[in-house]
Amino acid sequence: MPILDWVDKDKALKAADGAPYRLLEEVPKLSFGDADHENMLIQGDNLDALKALIPYYAGRVKCIFIDPPYNTGSAFDHYDDNVEHSKWLSLIYPRVELLRDLLTEDGTIWITLDDRESHYFKVMCDELFGRKNFIANAIWEKSDSPRMDAVFFSSRHDHLLAYAKNKEFAEFNRLPAEIADHYNRVDDKGRRYYTKPLRAMGGQGDSREARPTLYYALEAPDGSKVYPVRQDGTDGAWRWREEKVRDESERIDWVNGKKGWVPYYRIYGDASQGRPAETIFPHSLAGSNRTSKSEIKKLFPVDNPFGTPKPESLIKCVLTIATNPGDLVLDSFLGSGTTAAVAHKMGRKYIGIELGDHAVTHCAPRMQKVIEGEPGGISKACKWEGGGGFRFFRLGEGVFDEAGQINPDIRFPVLAAHVWFSETHTPWTGKGKSPLLGVHNGVAYYLLYNGILGDRKPQNGNVLTSRILAELPPHDGPKVVYGEWTPFKADRLRKEDIVFKQTPYDVKAR
């Protein structure tokens, strides 16, 4: 497959692996509302923040929406949007790589860009996701009127690229569709429908000769046999195979006319479950830059509240198509906090990451207003009245120091998450109260660290001795035990079905 190359791409390929695992530290004074919500705002560089999320959220995010700097060459008040083209690609590549790893198997990622970088980005994503997982390059009508000073085109749209982690599993929600007037009958459950003759009519394929398998006898209500007959009296064909008629017999209506019994089939107005998403997001549905400017002004009535917000309706469209209530949504270029606000109002869980000070000056206060029932944006459409909460985090120390040693201040649950993820490549959901981290594919993983067995002397509690082994929660099968040391020789370990791994040397960051 042809791939994109640029200066220093080799470094970009290693950047995600090389990024340190850092701790996320809550800043309670910036958190707000109910504490038991999973919602997170994180201030920091998203490369490190995404890496910090990997041991806990790999494979758990249903939908990612990002609106990264477009590389417009501008210096906005809140962030710089002017980096050399190769640098932009190097900035984006490792971040999208980590974002891909955070997606669920049926998850999707959506990215807005303009003509400056979108085509390069598409080729980069083909490499990262596989061409088969490309869904569409939709367009968002960002402007509701032309710019009269434009020299060539007055650009009215941005690109909205969508990729699936794995297109075989991804599913889009259908959108509500009006039921047209010709669905003029109603069944006993109140569903509207109309009928069409079951006999194939017109075209090449309505004769017995053309479709021999669709020529068979159906039994009419009086027990007589009915065959498909064309207008000219020759043998015809049914539209459905015999098994389908049997399986969907409740959709068949028989009418006794002049020429005898004739079968019809019902087409329900709701049978198609709404209409599919379309690749054009018009401003009348998704809002425009004018909409978002007015939304942000209402939220922050100051001179220059935030230069490049997206309208809430645009993100509502994306989340309506790609998520259901309770799903986890992530935006790692959060800006003024629009994705978090929309996810919150729509009953989705979310993680938002923002580098700039506006994480504190915009995102946190905006979410606080949302929790208090902020009425703007999509609130009316979602019947939003307030509630919920979020926790605010900043990036803390590294889990490992530069020599790869475990930072001595690391607590048991943090190391447990890293050990579990490096062994199983699945996120850790344990509580950190037991040395048994869990069982994966029949293998039990144990961690002896920080005196987890209650023995505060680490050299005792962290060493795999016969006494400690007897205290471990039992597992009838292979075991992997991480600890500082073990006096057991190879034959004893084999007999106990244990693979012993030494902390810190065998704890791999990724």
Ligand X SMILES: C[S@@+](CC[C@H](N)C(=O)[O-])C[C@H]1O[C@@H](n2cnc3c(N)ncnc32)[C@H](O)[C@@H]1O
Outline where 46-195 has alpha helix (H): 46-57, 85-102, 118-129
Name the nearest CA neighbour of 23 among 352, 397, 391. 397
- For residues 12 to 31, the per-residue mask of contacts with ligand X, x marking binding by CB under 6 A and - elsewhere, is --------------------
228 near ligand X, judged by CB under 6 A: no
Site for ligand X in 67-86 (CB under 6 A): 67-69, 78-79
With CB under 6 A as the contact rule, the residue among 335, 352, 413, 483 that binds ligand X is: 335
Q: How far apart are CA 262 and CA 271, in angstroms?
A: 23
Kindly report the length of the chain.
Answer: 510
Stretch that binds ligand X, among 307-315, 343-351, 414-422, 424-432 (CB under 6 A): 307-315
- Of 336 and 462, the one with the shorter C-beta distance to ligand X is 336
Q: How far apart are CA 266 and CA 190, in angstroms?
A: 14
Determine the residue type at 354: E
Q: How far apart are CA 414 and CA 259, in angstroms?
A: 78
356 near ligand X, judged by CB under 6 A: yes
With CB under 6 A as the contact rule, the residue among 100, 142, 159, 310 that binds ligand X is: 310
With CB under 6 A as the contact rule, the residue among 64, 218, 286, 355 that binds ligand X is: 355
Stretch that binds ligand X, among 242-250, 251-259, 318-326, 330-338 (CB under 6 A): 330-338
353 near ligand X, judged by CB under 6 A: yes
The residue whose Cβ lies closest to ligand X is 335
- Of 21 and 446, the one with the shorter C-beta distance to ligand X is 21
- Min dist. Cβ of residue 68 to ligand X (A): 6
- Element holding 104 (H helix, E strand): strand 103-113
Give the three-state DSSP class for 76.
Answer: coil
333 near ligand X, judged by CB under 6 A: yes
Q: How far apart are CA 394 and CA 407, in angstroms?
A: 18
- Min dist. Cβ of residue 62 to ligand X (A): 19
Name the nearest CA neighbour of 162 among 152, 154, 153, 172. 172
Residues in contact with 285: Cβ distance below 8 Å, sequence separation at least 6, in sequence order: 313, 317
484 near ligand X, judged by CB under 6 A: no
Number of residues counted as binding ligand X (CB under 6 A): 19
Q: How far apart are CA 45 and CA 230, in angstroms?
A: 70
Name the nearest CA neighbour of 480 among 506, 461, 451, 453. 506
369 near ligand X, judged by CB under 6 A: no
- Min dist. Cβ of residue 156 to ligand X (A): 18
Q: How far apart are CA 329 and CA 343, in angstroms?
A: 7
- Min dist. Cβ of residue 47 to ligand X (A): 6
- Min dist. Cβ of residue 38 to ligand X (A): 20
Residues in contact with 405: Cβ distance below 8 Å, sequence separation at least 6, in sequence order: 504
What residue ranges bind ligand X (CB under 6 A)? 45-46, 67-69, 78-79, 306, 308-310, 333, 335-336, 338, 353-356
